[in-house]
Amino acid sequence: MRGFQLHHVRHVLIGDRSQRGISGGEQRRVSVALGLLAKPGVVCLDEPTTGLDSHNAVQLLSLVHKWANTSGAVEVLPVQVRWKVVVVQD
């Protein structure tokens, strides 16, 4: 949880349309983190930044990049990214 900066919301419900929970960026990080629990060698993320503002997009890709450097290979397939997001990738 700390690696994906989710420790502070560990006791908060994710929420849905009828009940507010964690933010959209936090929801996306939960989704990606769940996929990485199995420690795969390759991860393909289809449009991981869609619907996120630039701050959350950069944060998500930075966390995935950090995870990749310590755990394995990651292929990220973002669509309609800003320059700030592209520079996060190798």
pTM above threshold 0.75? no
* Model pLDDT for residues 31-56, shown as the tens digit of each residue: 888 888 888 888 778 788 888 888 88
Interacting residues of 4 by C-beta distance below 8 A, sequence separation 6+: 29, 30, 32, 33, 63
* Residues of the chain below pLDDT 50: none
- Whether 58 and 84 have beta carbons less than 8 Å apart is answered as yes
